[in-house]
Chains A and B, each alone.
Chain A
Amino acid sequence: MKIIILGAGQVGGTLAENLASEANDITIVDTDMSRLRELQDRLDIGTIEGKASHPGVLEQAGAQDADMLIAVTNSDEVNMIACQVAYTLYNIPTKIARVREHDYLRHNKAIFTDKSIPVDVLISPEELVTKHIRRLIEHPGALQVLDFADGLAQLVAVRAYYGGPLVGREISFLRAHMPAVDTRVAAIFRQGSPIIPKGDTVIEADDEVFFIAAKKDIRAVMSELRRLDRPYKRIIIAGGGNIGARLANTIEDHFQVKIIERDIRRCNSLAKRLDNTIVLHGSASDKELLLEENIEDTDVFCALTNDDEANIMASMLAKRLGARTVMTLINNPAYVDLVQGGVIDIAISPQQTTIGSLLTHVRRGDVAAVHSLRRGAAEALEAVAHGDKRSSKVVGRAIEEIDLPAGTTIGAIVRNDEVLIAHDDVVVENDDHVILFLVDKRKIGEVERLFQVGLGFF
């Protein structure tokens, strides 16, 4: 696939890295030559220096025969104009733009149509990250919560602890122990390396377990793997920027939220916008302030400023002072491995969250959702099966008959808004949403081919 990425920032760079390894023709456009050079040294991609929305630059980048344009420059306006140019002059089939400004998004149905600003897919990283954190807050103890089929089924990552009923036992015991709840363990990561779970795999303490279940069953399954955390209640957010404010706004009705912001003017505007949130003026790394606000009784401390180092330091301080769980927003991927699992409970990587929703559109075949996991090494995706037994390699076959590449598991199937956990004898039907987990992303090509319909279908 020929893909043009506009903007070589963090999202653009990570995206190029993810896509270049999959035999795509990637051309990346940016005004910063040194950044482009750095990317080109590392990745097998083309680079063009220039203003992303200029037709001449787009032409140089090969817009005439591009399949997809992904506009992720820092400016919403440039992204939109680039899509407009790409549509009017070159008729690029898929145009994806990052639009941050909330005001544009309020009217997205009217603005982003082919008649006005032709953007096929809008991406708002802040929104995605906010949703991501919100899901984590709603599921205490989970490292990651990913939605499939509009939230009907969820994939949850949990660290197993001593004391969980299932820890130290075989997976098949789960079914005997909880006959009413249906779930499937999709993968286990033990000390960073993946294990494909079978019925007789024993779960050990400190394993990172990925399981799929219907949304209502998630809590029950989690209780098997660790002593269940009581639901979170008191939350402190450090940093009242876009993400912090948005998060406070969505959760303030259900939780007790405090938000710490350094800038007094920003505090004022936050206080105006938020009704049930206590806005505190001060520094998140101010020990006295944290103690004053009962950090020791806080359930979740979220560090969401745009400074990685400040986030990490504030989180470590909060943890030391007694916060139960600390979540930290970390932009630099190198830090994520460094801090997660140590003092910091959950490291949130905005790139990884955003990448997933972009990958959804890059994948061949009918793919409804993609989530990138473990710094892009693993992937969970929701593919829609089409065709019949003759034309498809999936439809009409029981799950045990499907020829899956090594390291891939089918976790669940969503059929007519109903979640069916993928046991070996379940037969896939036309239009089923199949949720797959790939331990090794390099197998993605084989999975894509599996879900492509043979010629007989058309």
Chain B
Amino acid sequence: MHYKVILRILGILLMIFSISMLPPVAIAFAYNDGLEVAFLSGFLITLITGFIIWAPVYRVRQDLRTRDGFLITVLFWAVLGLFGAFPFMLAKTPDLSFVDAVFESVSGLTTTGATVITGIDHLPKSILFYRQQLQWLGGMGIIVLAVAILPMLGIGGMQLYRAETPGPVKDSKLTPRITETAKALWYIYLSLTVACALGYWVAGMTPFDAISHSFSTVAIGGFSTHDASIGYFDSPAIEAICTFFMVISAVNFGLHFYAWRQRTLGHYLLDPEFKFYLTVLAGIIFLSACVLILTETYPPAESLRKAIFEVVSIATTTGFATADFAQWPVMLPFLLFVAAFSGGCAGSTGGGMKVIRILLILKQGSREIQRLIHPNAVIPVKLGKKPISDRVLEAVWGFFSVYLIVFIIMLIILLGTGLDQVTAWSAVGATLNNLGPGLGQVAANYGDLNEPAKWVLCFAMLLGRLEVFTLLVLFTPAFWRR
């Protein structure tokens, strides 16, 4: 372990992150909401801490090992969660306790979108903007951003990149050089955000709302500037735009990159993960709409509209709302919630276990059935036309089982803190999948939970964002052994 390099990079990243507190300062001035001091002090605290960490070791030059990459990534997300909480604590409204501020900040950075704040409509604009911006930064990954703009991370960048990017195949780079890959990802992310903001604006949002919501839409985050979320606008056009951008932001950015490079769209339909993802979405939408119509919850047209929006929002792990799906009839709340476990595609901003892993698990299941019929057959698991190596399949199973075990352990801890079953179950699911809203007591707001439960959920959000292993590896003795 090269602690000096780790500290050096951590210091640099913190100093960079401190810059993100400056836009809210500008907003605070523009709307004159009196929070300039809170953000400026947050900025200075972060900058100076970063500098203090960086200064003693700024000369150290060493290559990063894989292990260092894990440690930096985890430390960075944890530390950012803490420092990102400063403005929430320093601001007079909302008056948040330490745990609530950290929860809000971690929820933003991990693009979960679970909130402890009520009365969002009455919050100062600068705080609102800051929440949205946290989600946006966390969406593509701050480390990917750092790799893109800091050539000095060089080779070590790959170790960090791998620890942060979602999906089962971590080595896939879009371009030979890691900085170029990271840049490409951020260009796509930025263009999507701009397009989304323009769309919202044209559809009738105020510029402030448009930009804010574009941040949390493309990041698959789910924070809104209104208590009623997207439902506040009650506009089919805005819902359509939102749905569209949620769907494409949860698609593998590798596909977007290819589309951008080659100027084609055909390859989307050739990608098995994309096809499966759309099929699942369409299936659940159809089922939900049928149930809503049959139970006469809403009129038919509205049923369809609500079903489309809610299913996309929950299944991609965004967490925007136009209706309270927790109150929907029969199995729908459960169905939607379980869809979030599959989440977005690998290499996207979405959370959950990732569509491709579910697809591979299903394919393996069908292989076992095939084997019963043809005991001597050699049957590779194929994705598209390419066989998937057993190593990847093992990794997928490993991920699946660890995900479930972690889920159960945290569920038990939450039950231990005195929550009821539905609340505990959905709170863990919503945070581990980076979804946001849960069922029961946490359907809209996490503010009423007890303090230990909030800490556990913070940890769950980080686990979900870093895909469990990156974080868990730090808890093994072997990692720390020299």
Contact = CB atoms under 8 A, between A and B. Distances in A.
Given A41-B66, A43-B155, A44-B157, A27 B171 contact: no
Given A37-B171, A40-B171, A46 B176 contact: yes
A42 B157 CA distance: 11
B177 interface: yes
B173 interface: yes
Contacts of B157: 44
A26 interface: yes
B227 interface: no
Looking at A45, A46, A47, which has the most chain B CB atoms within 10 Å of its CB? A46
Nearest to A25: B176
A44 to B, nearest CB: 5
B155 A27 contact: no
Contact of B175 (A41, A46, A47): A46
B209 interface: no
Contacts of B180: 25
Given A40-B171, A41-B66, A25 B155 contact: no
B13 to A, nearest CB: 19
B158 A25 contact: no
A164 B158 CA distance: 50
Nearest to A43: B155
B176 A26 contact: yes
Interface in A35-66: 37, 40-47, 62
B463 interface: no
A44 B171 contact: no
A373 B176 CA distance: 27
Nearest to B151: A23
Nearest to A3: B176
A27 B173 CA distance: 11
A44 B66 contact: no
Nearest to A33: B389
B231 interface: no
A45 B66 contact: no
Contacts of B179: 44
Contacts of B447: none
Contact of B177 (A37, A42, A44): A44
B176 A27 contact: yes
A26 B155 CA distance: 13
Contacts of B66: 41
A42 B155 contact: yes
Interface residues of A, number: 15
Interface in B50-106: 66
Nearest to A47: B171
A44 B178 contact: yes
Contacts of A27: 176
A25 B177 contact: yes
A44 B175 contact: no
B399 to A, nearest CB: 19
Nearest to A16: B176
A46 B155 contact: no
A261 B273 CA distance: 58
B142 to A, nearest CB: 20
A188 B415 CA distance: 71
Contacts of A43: 155
Contact of A40 (B154, B158, B175): B158
Looking at B66, B158, B177, which has the most chain A CB atoms within 10 Å of its CB? B177
B129 to A, nearest CB: 36
A45 B176 contact: yes
A41 B69 CA distance: 12
B347 to A, nearest CB: 16
A105 B137 CA distance: 58
Interface in A381-412: none
Interface string B126-155: 000000000000000000000000000011
A167 B122 CA distance: 83
Nearest to A27: B176
Contacts of A23: 177
Interface string B160-204: 000000000001010111111000000000000000000000000
A11 B76 CA distance: 38
A23 B157 CA distance: 14
Contacts of B175: 25, 46
B351 to A, nearest CB: 27
A25 B183 CA distance: 14
A413 to B, nearest CB: 35
B150 to A, nearest CB: 13
Nearest to B154: A44
A133 B305 CA distance: 79
B340 to A, nearest CB: 33
A25 B178 CA distance: 10
Looking at B66, B173, B176, B180, which has the most chain A CB atoms within 10 Å of its CB? B176
A26 B173 CA distance: 12
Interface in A7-46: 23, 25-27, 37, 40-46
Contacts of A2: 176
A37 B172 CA distance: 11
Contacts of A42: 155
Contacts of B158: 40-41, 44
A235 to B, nearest CB: 42
Interface in A59-109: 62
Contacts of B154: 44
Contacts of A47: 171
A426 B386 CA distance: 63
Contact of B155 (A37, A44, A62): A44
A43 B64 CA distance: 11
A47 B179 CA distance: 15
A47 B174 CA distance: 11
Q: What 8 pairs between A and B have smallest CB-CB spacing?
A: A46-B176, A25-B176, A27-B176, A44-B155, A44-B178, A45-B176, A26-B176, A44-B177
Given A25-B177, A44-B158, A45-B177, 17 more contacts: A2-B176, A23-B177, A25-B175, A25-B176, A25-B180, A26-B176, A37-B171, A40-B158, A40-B171, A41-B66, A41-B158, A44-B155, A44-B177, A44-B178, A44-B179, A46-B176, A46-B177
17 contacts: A2-B176, A23-B177, A25-B175, A25-B180, A26-B177, A40-B158, A42-B155, A43-B155, A44-B154, A44-B176, A44-B177, A44-B178, A45-B177, A46-B173, A46-B175, A47-B171, A62-B176
